[in-house]
Structure 1
């Protein structure tokens, strides 16, 4: 749901921030689901902290979106599942710890790279503060993935194969180069999607170098530019489950609200 370009940001920028915010909202949900299921107390505490950080960031991003004309009720409680623009890998709950770690590590880092590329005045100071939170998230992810690459390399590799295409779709197509990326053209971001894709891939190639884990190749046709939905930053019409949306919107708890 894009706002009016006259409200300040170009419409494509509103969609871009919406996708980052929705992805962080779903990251908070997935961290919460695993908060008491990690292999040790340290991971449970880290997951709870990460989830809290993500929800705090969502509130700030939603506030900026409201200022651009996006309806608050729509953002928080009035959307259908297909109207959420979260990264596709977060549509599902991971069924095992290594799968979960790859899922949130890939998407948390991709969301940060997209956020860090924004250079608009509305984000001054905010992105720096969010980066302080994200530093600890990403360091924890990398440390756990390095351990899992030694102990369960096949599980990590299978999860990378499963989720990397969706992570690339969330970042965007390879055709969005310096001269073709509409957000760079408007001055809203300072680097093109093609560069962000490369940074994401290079990070995990470096992380898993010397292990038995092979990172999927960086394919220029993933996602297919002709099938890519710029608003939802994915291909296909999949979406998060209705039951998860009801949790996000607090549907089951509305009867207890004091009016």
Structure 2
């Protein structure tokens, strides 16, 4: 089992970056789900959104904790960063304004994260591998919930199908880009056994996983488009500039309530 001390400096930095990308993405996705706890179409669906939000935040906390091994200040990572410092998936920067946009996050963004975690199931980096199995198990519920709502909306009215199609089509490009190019960083991670695939290989796995959703909405061609990755920041897994909306980050950090914490 590989420990941090057994990784070369370049690979160690790449592992640290990957963990932070995944933790930030989980944290933001959980918040986006939480925003729909009271606005979901049905009470049961709101409860499901609450459950998924708790799962994602729990996953994020597990991942942030791993960064202690990389001499990171976890408290500062969770409560001290501003929006531009976050490394979350770009599609999570803004709230999902409609229910179909929320379903698109379930069926596109959440699935992409699961595909990345599956590439870590046999990771040579033990501390990360040990946490992946539980995460993937909980993600099966998220995938089932998203797929059920996707089928329901696609088979509903013309308006519901069109709205879902537009939401998925909008979410797809930034998620396809999130897997990044075939880079030296990715090859280092694969070569060290940290992941079993990176870049275009992971993107292909993702497209295969979401193919039923895309086919049901007539978006097969969109799934096959190769993203323009010029200027892509491989360490942050996003394009330069931008970030989550500042109000989201203030709420996530709990700025207004930190004074009430007891030592």
When normalised by structure 1's length, the TM-score is 0.89
Secondary structure of the residue aligned to 1:34 is coil
What is aligned with 1:157?
165
Per the alignment, in what secondary structure is the counterpart of residue 141 of structure 2?
A: helix
- Structure 1 equivalent of residue 46 of structure 2: 44
Describe how 1:88-167 pairs up with structure 2 within 5 A.
Answer: 88-118=90-120, 119=123, 120-151=125-156, 152-167=160-175
Q: Deviations over 1:15-69 (max 9, x none)?
A: 1111111000001111111011111112111111111111111111111111111
Which of 60, 63, 80 is the equivalent residue of 1:61? 63
Matched, 1:172 2:177: no
Which of 234, 243, 249 is equivalent to 1:245? 249
| C-alpha distance 143-255 of structure 1, shift in aligned 2 (>3 A) | same
For structure 1, the residue ranges without an aligned partner over 5 or more in a row are none
Unaligned runs of 5+ in 2: none
Q: How many residues align?
A: 252
Distance in 2 (CA, whole Å) between partners of 1:66 and 1:170 is 25
Partner of 1:182: 188
Which portions of structure 1, spanning 4 or more consecutive aligned residues, are displaced by more than 3 angstroms? 3-9
Normalized per residue, the structure richer in helix is: 2
The TM-score normalised by the length of structure 2 is: 0.88
- In the TM superposition, what is the alpha-carbon distance from 1:212 to its structure 2 partner? 4.2
2:169 touches 2:219 (CA, 8 Å); kept in 1?
A: no
Question: Is the Cα–Cα contact under 8 Å of residues 24 and 86 in structure 2 kept in the other structure?
Answer: yes
Match of 1:234 among 235, 238, 255: 238
**2:176–2:203 Cα contact (<8 Å) kept:** yes
Look up the match of 2:259. Answer: 255
Alpha-carbon distance between aligned partners in 2 of 1:28 and 1:143, rounded to the nearest angstrom: 19
